[in-house]
Amino acid sequence: MKIDVNKLKEIVGEDNVTDEVADRYIYASDSSVHQSMPECVVRPGSAVEVQKIMRYANKNKIPVIPRGAGSGMSGHAVPIDGGIVLDMKRMDRILEIRPEDVLCKVEPGVINDELNRQLKPSGFFFPPTPSSGKICTIGGMIGTNASGIRSVKYGATRDAVIGMKVVLANGDLVTMGSNTRVDSSGYQLSRLMVGSEGTLGIVVEATLLISPLPRYRAMGVANFATLEDAGRMISSVIAEGVTPSMLELMDNVAITAVNNAQNLGLPDVAAIVVFECNGMVKEAIDFDMKRIKKICEKNNGTGIRVSDDPKEMTRIYEGRKKLFPSLSRYKEGLVTTALADDMAVPMSKIAECVHEIHDIAKRNNVVMSAYGHCGSGLIHTKILMDTSKKQQWEDAKHAVDEVYKYVYKIGGTTSGEHGVALSKAPSWKEEKKDSLEMMKAIKKALDPNNILNPHKLMDAPDDWVTATDLRYQVTS
Amino acid sequence: MTAKNLKKFDKEMNVCIRCAYCFEECPVIKQVGWDSDGARGKVILSYGLLAGELAPSQHIADKLYQCTFCRDCMERCPSNVKIIDIISSARADLVDAGFASDTHNHVINNIKNTGNIYGDTEVISPEQDGKTPLFIGCQYLSRPNKTKKYIKILEKLDINPVVKKEICCGFPMEALGFRKEFKTHKEKFQKAFPFKEAITFCPTCTVFLREGYGIDAKHVLQVILEKIPKADLGMKVTYHDPCDFSRGLKIIDEPRKILEKLGVEVVEMKNSKEQSSCCGGGGGILMSDQTLSDSIAKKRIKQAIETGADTVVTSCPTCETVLKKAAAEIGESEGENIVVRNIEDIIWKGLK
C-alpha cells in the first residue's frame, strides 16, 4: 500500500517527514553491508506521535523500522520491505536524573556520551560503554543490547535497563519493569525488549540504572609474542578474581590498522592486551593493577606499561575505541565490511578462536582481524576484502559460515553485543533452532501484522548476501 | 551525470564504513537533524551519484551545499576519509550537471570579472615594496581600515612586507565546485602572485595558498607572535578558533599566546581548540543557506556567553562578521550581550 505522507505530516509536522529519494537512499543503509530503501522517513517528537504513527501503520500493514544513529553493523535499520523508517534522534530528552534512586529516565534518542555528560555533575555515569558512545543512541543500545569495553565489570545494556515505556505495534503505550533494582514476578518484559532489535515495540522511554563515577582509574598495556600467551593472560585475570574495568585484546591486523590510521606507534607483535581498573580506593586499584602486571609477566607479556596519566589513558582508550573504522586503512584496496563482526566464546578458547579466525581468513582469501572485549569472552572481527569482486562475496559468505560453525563447536554464541538483524541471522538461526518457534510466537502475539522491523532475527532470509542489495558496487 | 570529479574517490568512499562518528559535533546535523545533513550522509549521496543510483537533483545539491567545510568530521573520522575533497568533487559534478545556484554563479562571476568575491571595483591593494610577500585576501581588501590596521601592526613590529595588486585566491571556485573556472583563474593568480612564500591575513586564504598552490603561507599571527611586546590590557575574553586555524592549519596556541602577552585572560568555551565549533560561515553556506548559517552562529555565541566573558575574540574576518550578526540578534531577542572583536583590534590596542 502506498504510504500517505500527508497523513504522517499531520502527525509530526511538515519538517519531520521526507520521501525525497536522496534522503531515502541515505536511510537505506547503516554500517552493515546491506541496502534497501524505505518509502519515507519520519522523525517523531513524542510518545503520542509514535502511537499515532503505529496506529496508522498497523491499520495499513506498513512496515515500521526504528533507527537511532544508524551505526548498527548487521542491518538492523535497513528496511528490507520498504515502509517507514522512524528516526528517533529527535526524542532526545533526559527526563529525570535521580541519584538518590541511582537511576535516570531518558528518551530513546539520547546519545550515550551526552547522557554521561549530564550525569557527571551528580557524580554518576551510565556504565555500558560502546565504542560508538559519542554518537550512538540509548534506543539503539537497547535494540542490540550493546555492552562495550567496560562490560567485563558492568555488564551489558540489559543489566542497566530496569524499566521502559514501549509503543506496541497497535499503538498502545505500555509501561514495563519498575523503578527498582529488583522486580521479581512475571515475565521480565523490559528485559525481553532489550536485544529485540525493534521487532517487538518502539521504546519511547527507558529507566536506566546509573553507577557512581569511580574516583580513580589506571590503565595498562602489555605486548604478547603469541596469541596463546595473550589468551591465557586474559582468562587468568578473570579466574584469579581480579575485576578489571577493561580487558581488551587486539591482534596484529588490528594493531597495524590502528597504527596506519591513527599513528599510535604500537609494536608489531602478535597481540596487545589493554587493561584498566577503576574504583573508589586508590590502593585497591594499585593492588589489582599489580596483580594484572604479574599475570602478564607470568604469561610472557613484554613492554608492560601502567599509567594513571589522563592524557596517556585517553590516547590508548581513544585508539581502541576507533579500531573498527581504522581497519579501513589496513591495506590499500581492501574495504572493511561488518561481517562476522561479533561473537562470544568461552574464556579459555579466546586464543584458539583468534587463530581459527586467521586460518579461516586465509582459506577464504580475505583478511580478518580479531579484537574485542575479551574479558567478557567477546570477540569482534571484520572481513577486509575487495568489495567490487563477486568472488570475494562468495569468499566472505564461506568465511562467515565457517566462523560461526566453529564458534558453536566450542560453545560460543553468534552475537555478543552487535545484534543479529540480517547479516548474522542465518548463523544465529542455526544456533537458536530450538527456541526459534518460541520467539516467533512472541513476535506474533505482540505484532500480529508483522510490521515492526520485519524480516529480521528469526524471520530473516537464509542467505544474507541476497537478503537485500549490497551497498557496494560489485562490478566483476 | 558523468561524475568525473567523484570518480577518483570511488575507493575512498568505500573506506567510509558509515560508522557515523562524524555526527558528533557536525554543526549542520546538530542543527537540522536528518542523517542526510551529516558528513556520512553527504558521502553516501556522493557515492549514489557516482554509482548512478541517484540522479542529480536540486535536493541533493541543497544537501551537499549545506556544509561549512569546518573539517570537524575529518578531525573525528577514525578512517581519515577525505570528506571535504569528496564533497567538493560532488559539488563540481553537480555544477557540471547544471545545478549551480544563481548566488554561487554571481560570486564566481564577481571573481572572474573583478578579481574580488564581492565584485568590489573600488578595492585597491595598498601596494608597497618590502621583503616577504603579503597576501591580503578579498575579505580584508574589502575592509580597508582593518587592512591598514594590520599593515601598521606589521610596521610597528618592524616587518615590512611587499604588497602587489592582488586578485582572489580562488578558494570559492574550488569550494563551490567551479573547477573549470578555477583552472583558468589559477593561471591568472599565479601571474599576479608569483611567490613561493607569503604572509597572510585570512585563515582560509592561508589554507588555500598552501593546498591549492603549494605556497609556503604563514598567517600573520605566526609571524608576529615572537615580536609582540608585553602589555597589560586587563581584559577577560573567550576565543573562537576559526576552523581553518584549529583544524586546517593547527594554529591553536599562537593566538592564545599573543593574547596572554597582551595581558588578556582567555576563558575557554565548551568546544574549543581542535574541537572548536564552527561559526557557521564557511564552505559557501553563507551564500547557500543564510538561515542555517545564522542558527549555527547563534549556537556558538551562546557557548561564548556561557563562559561569562564579555568579549569573544576571533582571528577570521568571516567568523567575525557572522558572529557579530548572531551576537546582535541574541542581544536583541534574549537580552544577553557579548562583544565580538577580531584579534587585530586587541593587538592594535596592546601596541598603542
Q: Which of A135, A260, A317, A380 to mutate to test the interface with B (most CBs of B within 10 A)?
A: A135
What are the sequence ranges of the domains in chain A? Answer: 1-213, 216-326, 329-470
- How far is it, in rounded angstroms, from Cα A285 to Cα A218? 7
Query: Is A423 touching B (CB cutoff 8 A)?
Result: no
CB contact under 8 A, A23 and B24: no
Of B132 and A45, the one with more pLDDT: A45
Classify domain B228-351 by CATH number: 3.40.50.1860
CB contact under 8 A, A25 and B48: yes
User: Quick one: average pLDDT of B172-196?
Assistant: 96
Residue A124 has what pLDDT?
98
CB contact under 8 A, A22 and B59: yes
What DSSP string describes B278-317? Answer: P-S--TTHHHH-HHHHHHHHHHHHHHHHHTT-SEEEES-H
Q: Tell me the pTM.
A: 0.95
For residue range B251-288, list pLDDT tens digits in order.
999 999 999 999 999 999 999 999 999 999 998 888 88
Find, among A314, A331, A376, A360, the residue nearest to A147 by Cα: A376
**Domain A1-213 and domain A216-326 have a common topology:** no
User: Tell me, which fold does domain A216-326 have in CATH?
Assistant: Alpha-Beta Plaits (3.30.70)
Find, among B291, B274, B285, the residue nearest to B325 by Cα: B291
User: Quick one: average pLDDT of B30-59?
Assistant: 96
Classify domain A1-213 by CATH number: 3.30.465.10
Question: Residue A181: CA atoms inside 13 Å, Cβ hemisphere, count?
Answer: 6
Strands A124-125 and A469-470: unpaired
Task: Indicate the residue of B34, B53, B80 with minimum beta-carbon distance to A329.
Answer: B80
Three cell numbers, residue A352? 584458539
Three cell numbers, residue A319? 585508539
CB contact under 8 A, A21 and B57: yes
Residue B65 has what pLDDT?
95
User: Considering only CB atoms, which chain B residues are within 8 Å of A91?
Assistant: none
**What residues does CATH 3.40.50.1860 cover in chain B?**
228-351
- How far is it, in rounded angstroms, from Cα B10 to Cα B46? 10
Residue with cell 580513580: A216
Pick the CATH number of B7-96 from 3.40.50.460, 1.10.4000.10, 1.10.1060.10, 3.20.20.150: 1.10.1060.10
Query: What sign has the CA pseudo-torsion B52, B53, B57, B60?
Result: negative
Residue A1 has what pLDDT?
72
Three cell numbers, residue A324? 573498527
The class of domain A329-470 in CATH terms is alpha beta
Residue A144 · residue A197 · CB < 8 Å: yes
For residue range A342-351, list pLDDT tens digits in order.
999 998 999 9
How distant, in Å, are the alpha carbons of A236, A271, A298, A354, B111 from that of A224?
A: 15, 5, 11, 14, 60
Please tell me whether the interface predicted TM-score (ipTM) of this complex is above 0.90: yes
- How far is it, in rounded angstroms, from Cα A449 to Cα A169? 8
Residue A272 has what pLDDT?
94
What kind and span of H or E run contains A370? strand A367-372
Residue A341 · residue A31 · CB < 8 Å: no
Quickly count: other Cβ atoms within 10 Å of residue A444's Cβ. Answer: 11
Q: In angstroms, what separates the C-alpha of A112 from chain B's closest C-alpha?
A: 11
**What residues does CATH 1.10.1060.10 cover in chain B?**
7-96
- How far is it, in rounded angstroms, from Cα B39 to Cα A287? 45
- How far is it, in rounded angstroms, from Cα B251 to Cα B258? 12
- How far is it, in rounded angstroms, from Cα B99 to Cα A208? 48
Residue ranges of chain A with per-residue pLDDT less than 50: none
